[in-house]
Amino acid sequence: MSGGIDQPDWPADNKIWESSLLFANARFKQIFIATLQPNTTLKRLRAAECSTPIGKLRQVVGAMTAEMHAGLASEGGSKLKMLNSHVDNLPTGDEHGLFYALDLGGTNFRVLRVQLGGRDGRVAKQEFTEVSIPPELMIATSTELFDFIAKELSKIYSYRRRRFFPPSWWTKGFSIDDAVDKDVVRAHAIPKSGETVINTEWDNLQSLHLPVTEYDQALDQDSLNAGEQIFEKIISGMYLGDIVRRVLCKMAEEAGFFGDTVPPKLRTRFILRTPEMSAMHHDTSADLSVVGSKLNDIFGISDTSFETRRVVVELCNIVATRAACLSAAGILGILKKIGKDTVKQVEKQRTVIAVDGGLFEHYTKFCSCLQNTLNELLGDEAAHTVVIEHANDGSGIGAALLAASHSQYH
C-alpha cells in the first residue's frame, strides 16, 4: 500500500459487511435511546407534568379555599365534604383527667385511654387497644355498630359514661345509611363559640390546577375508587412509591432502561413502598449503592449502572417534591380559610399545625420541602407565626382532647 493510513482488510462479501453495519447501528441506536429517553422523561416530568412553581401552587391554594367555602355552603356543593364533627368548643390546654377516644378504621377500631395533665403535665400517659370489627357490622345500623363498640369497651376499661364524637367516617368501607351526616351520639346542645371542628376530607380536592400525569391517571384507574381522592393519590405516602414504579416500568418498556427485557416485578402494583423510595432518595453513597441494593431486592434488577441509579434518585426527587409542595399549598388553603395566613398587628399570633403519619415523620426530604415551600408561600413575616409539628398518633390524641374540651359542658 502507498503511504497514509493503512486500510483494514474488509470482508470480500459486501453483504456480510452491510449486515454487520446494520447490526452495529441497531445496537448503538438501542443503547442511545435507552440513555436518552429516561433523561427526556425526567426533563418532561420536572419541567411540565410534575412542575409546581409558586404561581401554580397559589392557584391550588385558591382552589382549596374555594372548595372549602363551597363544601360548607351546601351539602354536595363540593368534593370536599367539610364534615361537621358536632364539636364547637376547642381545647385550651388546661384540660385535666382521664379521657377515652375511638379511632375507627376500615376493619378495626382502636380504643385510646389518655391521661391529660393540663399545661404542665400535657399528655401524661396514653395506651390503646385494637379491636376487629365483624364484616356484617360494616353494613348494619348505627345502633348495632355502637352497641358492639360499647360492649367491647366494657371489656377493656371501666368507665362511667360514654360519649363519642366520630366524624362521618362511613367512607372507610362502611355502608350505614342511618348515620351519614348525623350526630350519631345525639350530643346535648353545646354553647356556640363561633368555631367548629371540621373534617375537610381534603384528600378529595379536585382542580384543573393539580399537576396530574399519565402515571397518576393510570394509578387512579387501577384503584378501587377511580375518579375519587385525586389529591390523596398524588401526595400520600400510600401511593408515591407506586408512582415511581409506574414511571420506571414505562421507561423499561419503551426504552430498555433495565436491559432488553422488562423485569417482571416492575409490573407488580405497590411492590415499591414509599419507605424504600425514601431510602433511595436519601442515598448519599458515592456509588449510590443503596439504590442498587433496593433495585435488586425489590425488582430483581442487578448490576445497574451509576447513571441508571442516578436517574432513579432524580425520579424519586421529582415525585416527592411535587407531593410536598402540593401538601404545603393545601395547608395554606386551610390557613387562608380560617384567616391565619397573614399577620394581624393587633394580636399576638401563633399557629401550630400538627401533622401525623410516617411520610412526614420519616421522609426527611419531603418534610423539609413541605416546610420550606409553606414558608415561601406565606412570606417571611407570616412564616414566623406558623409552626409545623409532628404529632405522634395525632388523630387519637386529638379525639381525646376534643372529648376533654367538650366535657366541661356536661
With beta carbons less than 8 A apart as the criterion, state whether 367 and 237 touch.
no
Same structural domain, 45 and 154: no
Same domain, residue pair 72 and 141? no
Same domain as 215, residue 297: yes
Q: Are residues 231 and 321 in the same domain?
A: yes
User: Which cell goes with 379?
Assistant: 412570606
| 356 in any annotated domain | no
Among 300, 321, 341, the domain boundary falls at 341
Residue 324 lies in a domain: yes
Q: Which helix (H) or strand (E) holds 99?
A: strand 96-104
**Could you tell me if 324 and 274 lie in one domain?**
yes
The three grid cell numbers given for residue 231, joined into one nine-digit string: 389529591
| Among 270, 218, 211, residue whose Cα is nearest residue 235 | 211
Say which CATH number the domain at 146 has. Answer: 3.30.420.40
Instruction: Tell me which of 287, 317, 341 is where a domain ends.
Output: 341
CB 321, CB 356: distance < 8 Å: no
Measure the CA angle with vertex 215, ends 213 and 217; round to 5°.
75
Residues 318 and 204 in one domain: yes
Number of domains in the chain: 2
Q: Are residues 210 and 321 in the same domain?
A: yes
| Residue 206 belongs to domain spanning | 38-83+200-341
The CATH number that applies at residue 260 is 3.40.367.20
Question: In this structure, are 75 and 108 located in the same domain?
Answer: no
pLDDT by 10s per residue, the chain, length 410: 444 444 344 344 444 334 433 334 443 344 434 444 677 888 888 888 899 999 999 999 999 999 999 999 988 889 998 988 777 777 888 888 888 887 776 567 878 888 888 888 788 888 888 888 887 887 778 788 888 888 887 777 654 444 444 434 444 455 555 555 554 544 334 445 567 888 899 999 999 999 999 999 999 999 988 999 999 999 999 999 999 999 999 999 988 999 999 999 999 999 999 999 999 999 999 999 999 999 999 999 999 999 999 999 999 999 999 999 999 999 999 999 999 999 887 667 889 999 988 899 999 999 999 999 999 999 999 999 999 999 877 777 888 888 887 776 55
User: What is the Cα–Cα distance from 13 to 126, expressed in whole angstroms?
Assistant: 85
* Dihedral of the alpha carbons of 229, 230, 236, 242, in degrees to the nearest 10: 120
Rounded-to-integer distance, Cα 257 and Cα 253, Å: 8
